[in-house]
Chain A
Amino acid sequence: MAENKAGKQTLVFKKKIVLMEAASIVGPKEGQGPLAQYFDLILADDLLGEKSWEKAEQRIMIDTIRLALGKANLTEDDIEYFLAGDLLNQIITASFSARELQIPFLGIYGACSTIIEGLALGASLIEAGFADRVLTASSSHNCTAERQYRAPTELGVQLTPTAQCTVTGAGVGILSSQGTGPAITHATIGKVIDMGIKDPSDMGTAMAPAAADTLNQHFQDTNRTPNYYDLILTGDLAQIGSDILRELMRKNGTLLGTNYNDSGIMVFDKKQGVNSGGSGCGCIASITCSYVYKKMLAGELKKVLLVGTGALLSTTTYQQKESIPGIAHAIALEYLG
């Protein structure tokens, strides 16, 4: 019998595994959004003087990692494992960043849920006694992701109202078996759920059922209700997807109140012309590692449930007219002072 398991899909961390440091860097557009004051650094130029958008995204990830290490007074040698992923084919941002950092690396992929997957896996490594310090990172760049998944950015195609705007940014979290900070107490690993949505410009709708399934499972496994948390943050269903999630949860008898929000809604202002909202690995990652982390340290949020949602499509499956599978992982962060 697995000792650290609750219910069907939830990991229970008995050790105190803290998010000892977190850092985020975002692009200029995100820096004009409502959360600007929480990000550690807002880039003036999203190309960062690099020759390609891909190199720029790697630079953002590496810089965010070094920023987090600096804030924590650590060096790369102090980190035992580096877990990271991103949206690009063969997760090149993560592996090329690992090439520069020289920390033992495990590449992970859960689309926009990657950072939550990383935090859950990192906490598991520490819980099992394999490590004391694990660094997890995730990033996205508007110009690399929009081109890979949709159309060349220079083509300037029209977007539908359901489309989401990929966030340029990265979030980095350092997990530790010692120190202070918000502790990861639970992680609920989600199933891949596909309700047959085929429109890659409507990923919020495709991911909402997976988010609902993971949320329901989390509440069932932990015997908690949504009211237990000060904030339940999905990321990133954006406006359309989170409305559908509320409806799906309501039908299941769970009401999501004002303590529910979505990172795709929070990151941009509606006036910024982003249609349904933000998306991308960097969206919930940068918000978790800035807004959520800082609010928890300030004591304004004590119990937070983070639900990373990923659309697991590729351009090949889309061109072959396959539907879009969705996944959602949840972690509970608790900081009781």
Chain B
Amino acid sequence: MVTSLLMAFLVGGFICAVAQLVMDLTCLPPAHIMVLTVVAGAVLSGLGFYEPLIKFGGAGATVPLTSFGNALTKGALVEAQRIGFLGAFTGVLKEVSLGISLAIFIAWFTALIFNPKG
């Protein structure tokens, strides 16, 4: 228990520290950092490095945005193996459907209730 908490902290902390360093050293706006972390997760996943990272760090690897990139690649690879070339496209959003649908629903609901001013 304590070991997995520590590992999650170290792995998650490391990913966030890298993103923070990129932010501080490059002056890139937050939107670019978001895209970069997703792409980094997708690439690491494609190279086969992300699954071991999840086994090692647990939530430390699944909670940061890189995990979203991992899920994109994973979905594409699984579907490509199942139905062939087109699966690489139809599968991209399969794994992340929950996250995206929920985000759209929550955003819609928030817009319905609140009136953003800033």
- Chain A residues with CB under 8 Å of chain B are 47, 51-53, 143, 146-147, 151-155, 157-158, 160, 199, 201
Contacts and interface: CB of A to CB of B under 8 A. Distances in A.
A160 B27 contact: yes
Contacts of B27: 160, 199, 201
A288 to B, nearest CB: 28
A182 B72 CA distance: 67
Interface in B24-39: 24, 27, 29-30
Majority-rule SS of B interface residues: loop
A154 B30 contact: no
B118 A157 contact: no
Given A51-B115, A52-B117, A152-B116, 4 more contacts: A146-B118, A151-B29, A153-B118, A154-B118
Given A151-B29, A151-B30, A155-B30, A143 B118 contact: yes
CB-CB nearest 9 A-B residue pairs: A153-B118, A154-B118, A143-B118, A157-B30, A147-B118, A53-B117, A52-B117, A152-B118, A199-B27
A158 B23 contact: yes
Contacts, number: 26
Interface of B: 23-24, 27, 29-30, 115-118
Contacts of A152: 116, 118
Nearest to A161: B24
A155 B117 CA distance: 12
Nearest to B115: A51
A168 B29 CA distance: 24
Contacts of B23: 158
Contacts of B30: 151, 155, 157-158
A157 B115 CA distance: 20
Nearest to B23: A158
Nearest to B114: A154
Nearest to A155: B30
Contact of B117 (A143, A151, A158, A199): A143
Contacts of A154: 116, 118
Contacts of A47: 117
Contacts of A201: 27
